[in-house]
Amino acid sequence: MSQSNKVLILGASGMLGSQVAKAFEQYAPQFKLILQSKERFTRSVDLFGYLSQTGASTVINCIGYLGRDPALHLMINGCMPRVIADWCDANGALCIHISTNAIFEPHETRLWFPEDQPSPHTPYEVAKAFGEDPRSYIFRASFIGISSTGRGILSTLLKGGQFVNRTWNGVTVWALAKRIIDVVNHFHGEPKALIEHVHSPDVITFNGLAKHLGSSSCSSRSENDARLLGGGLKFPTISEQIEAYRDALNNDCY
């Protein structure tokens, strides 16, 4: 068990990582944040060495790759999370890993639970499933937020851009970030292995989400690729989460 108060956020400049950092500043100022954002680790030995330099007692992995290179999917989404878990296990640190509900089969009504077996297909899905090291505290989630590149679904809806419609019961980055802080407050510096599904209690379509936001955007087509999560905590409805996220944005929490 690590005795330091250092929390390392890997991928701190991304949509989720930046929001997690802001949430820590607001809700958990007792922790010393280490924000990793510039380095791209291509060798496990370099990542392991970097982790050793930080001396963190909690490591939150918000790094993810969504491109088209299968090799990068395997390295970033699959292998690197295992290296992080190795280091945390060797140093008595809490390892938090952000996975995805996309490791399950698409289904518009079936709720997938933590004990269900994944069935990944694409290089992204396979790598994310492999990255779920059993020594980590794993969050399976699907989240939306304001993207620095402007390509996120929430950015698209707020700008009135077209989108692909789907059925969804994910969460906002702000809701996920606050849940991560709850776990860190409880288990900081204490290795904890668990799979938790983070999801909204209500199911909505992106068309419905656009209407809730007062957006003038419309879907370019319909896509039946819902992967509905179950077995998680009772979160606010997605409309309530959106309002809380807007408040956070207005209060410069992004």
**CA dist., res. 37 & res. 23, Å (int):** 17
Residue 231: the pLDDT is: 84
**CA dist., res. 1 & res. 90, Å (int):** 10
The CATH number linked to 87 is: 3.40.50.720
Q: Structurally, how many domains does the chain consist of?
A: 1
Contact 238, 204 (CB under 8 A): yes
**Read out DSSP for 147-215?**
-TTS-SHHHHHHHT--EEE-EE--EEHHHHHHHHHHHHHHHTTS---EEEEE--SS-EEHHHHHHHTT-
- Let me know if residue 207 belongs to a domain: no
Task: Kindly tell me the burial class for residue 198, based on how many C-beta atoms sit within 10 Å of its own C-beta (0-12, 13-18, 19 or more).
Answer: buried
3-class secondary structure for 106-152? CEEEEEECCCCCCCCCCHHHHHHHHCCCCCCEEEEECEECCCCCCCC
- Let me know if residue 154 belongs to a domain: no
Contact 59, 17 (CB under 8 A): no
Residue 1: the pLDDT is: 60
pTM of the model: 0.93
**CA dist., res. 147 & res. 149, Å (int):** 5
- Let me know if residue 44 belongs to a domain: yes
- Let me know if residue 95 belongs to a domain: yes
Contact 95, 136 (CB under 8 A): yes
Contact 206, 156 (CB under 8 A): no
- Let me know if residue 178 belongs to a domain: yes
- Let me know if residue 222 belongs to a domain: no
- Let me know if residue 156 belongs to a domain: no
Residues in the chain: 254
Per-residue pLDDT of the chain (254 residues; tens, 9 = 90+): 667 899 999 999 899 999 999 999 999 999 999 999 877 787 889 999 999 999 999 999 999 998 999 999 999 999 999 999 999 999 999 999 999 999 999 998 999 999 999 999 999 999 999 999 999 999 999 999 987 777 788 888 888 888 888 899 999 999 999 999 999 999 998 999 999 999 999 999 998 998 888 887 888 877 778 999 998 778 899 999 999 998 888 877 54
Residue 111: the pLDDT is: 94
- Let me know if residue 61 belongs to a domain: yes
Contact 85, 97 (CB under 8 A): yes
Residue 155: the pLDDT is: 85
Count the neighbouring beta carbons within 10 Å of the beta carbon of residue 220: 11
Residue 153: the pLDDT is: 85
- Domain range holding 184? 6-145+169-200+227-236
